Amino acid sequence: MKPVLVKKPQPAWRRYLRRSFGFSRRETSGFVVLLLLLLLWLVAPLLLRPALPAYDPAPDRQQLDQVAATLAAQRQPRKFISRYPRRVYPRRPAVPQVALAPFNPNTLSATDWEARGLPGYVAKRIVHFRDVIGGFKAKAQIKRTYGFPDSVYARLAPYMQLPDQLPPRPPRPARDYATYPDRRFPDRAAGPTTPGRFPRKPTNLAAFNLNTADTTQLMQIRGIGRGLSKRVVDYRLRLGGFIRADQLGEIYSLRDAPDLVDSLRKYTFVAPGFAPALLEVNTASFEILQAHPYVGKRLARVVVAFREQHGPFRQADDLRQIRILDAETLDKLRPYLRF
């Protein structure tokens, strides 16, 4: 009776490795064949490449040297002729230096300053500055000359026969402003007999109608001049008359001047029941419509085109059909429209 052989079970880790990384006999044979093909692919270029002859660069180098020598012999330097010839300035003669001694700066010429160590352009500048101010009165004036070197000034200052600083100015006599009606114009004599360039505006001014006032009445208000009063009258004519005092703030020159608007509203009024000049929306031409401050060129062009396509407007609310006309502008236009 033969003994029965019992195989010893393999460990779990060996079974895992064999199952995950093991190859069958067929896979092993294919892997070996693939490896041999890769080695043959790497060696084939070395076996199939023909033998190249040895290269001697000496003849080519000699030929290139000959070509380079020929080109160098034929090359000629290019000469450029400038359109603007260079100006040649004569050389300034050197000024001999002199020994330092006390001197008066008001009697020196430009050459004398150069002889004491200053550049020529600074010396001319000092002489010109002296002639303009009528002569130096202190060393501080010479030091203020533009371009005067501090080192040269420190060397020359002890020899200048001038005081270091200007003498103090005498105090100005006190002016009695009580004799003048306005301190802003002290040179004007007091008294009603002296005519001024600009007439004095009244301090107690009675309010007047804004829609009937002319430029002369408007100019009586402080801060309102000839040009501003003319703009107020022109805007009133284009508008057809003011129906509210706050419309003054719509004038271009008064938009950023609330104090002037307050002065105008203080001394002017709009008469109750005032009827402004009306604007014929359905019959007015483009030129008349665009001249109105609340309409303008863009809105006038659309209004004329809209009424030609859809017929005349019957009431103010019909203008709401125009998209570029906002509700605020329509409310301002209502009192001035006629259908």
Q: Among the listed ranges 23-32, 50-59, 110-119, which one has the minimum average pLDDT value?
A: 50-59
Residue 253 banded pLDDT, cuts 50, 70, 90? confident
Residue 297 domain-assigned?
yes
Cα→Cα distances 294→88, 104, 279, Å: 70, 77, 11
Residue 175 domain-assigned?
no
Residue 189 banded pLDDT, cuts 50, 70, 90? very low
Residue 228 domain-assigned?
yes
Residue 334 domain-assigned?
yes
**Residue span of the structural domain in which 114 resides:** 105-159
Q: CB pairs under 8 A, 24+ apart, for 179-182?
A: none
Average pLDDT of span 67-87: 81
Average pLDDT of span 184-206: 59
Residue 193 banded pLDDT, cuts 50, 70, 90? very low
> Do residue 295 and residue 265 come from a single domain?
no
Which residue shows structure tokens 């804004």? Answer: 210
* pLDDT tens, position by position, 286-305: 999 999 999 989 999 999 99
| Nearest CA-CA partner of 103 in 157, 162, 159 | 159
Residue 190 banded pLDDT, cuts 50, 70, 90? very low
Which of the 8 DSSP states describes residue 103? B
> Do residue 284 and residue 265 come from a single domain?
no
Query: Where among 221, 251, 269 does a domain terminate?
Result: 269
Residue 212 domain-assigned?
yes
> Do residue 219 and residue 249 come from a single domain?
yes
> Do residue 233 and residue 286 come from a single domain?
no
Q: What CATH number has the domain bearing residue 238?
A: 1.10.150
> How many domains are contained in the chain?
3
Residue 264 domain-assigned?
yes
Asked if pLDDT for residue 84 goes beyond 80, the answer is no
Residue with the larger pLDDT of the pair 35 and 54:
35
Size of the chain, expressed as the number of residues it contains: 339
Residue 141 domain-assigned?
yes
pLDDT at 128: 92
**What is the C-alpha separation between 239 and 250, in angstroms, rounded?**
11
Residue with the larger pLDDT of the pair 77 and 314:
314
Residue 254 domain-assigned?
yes
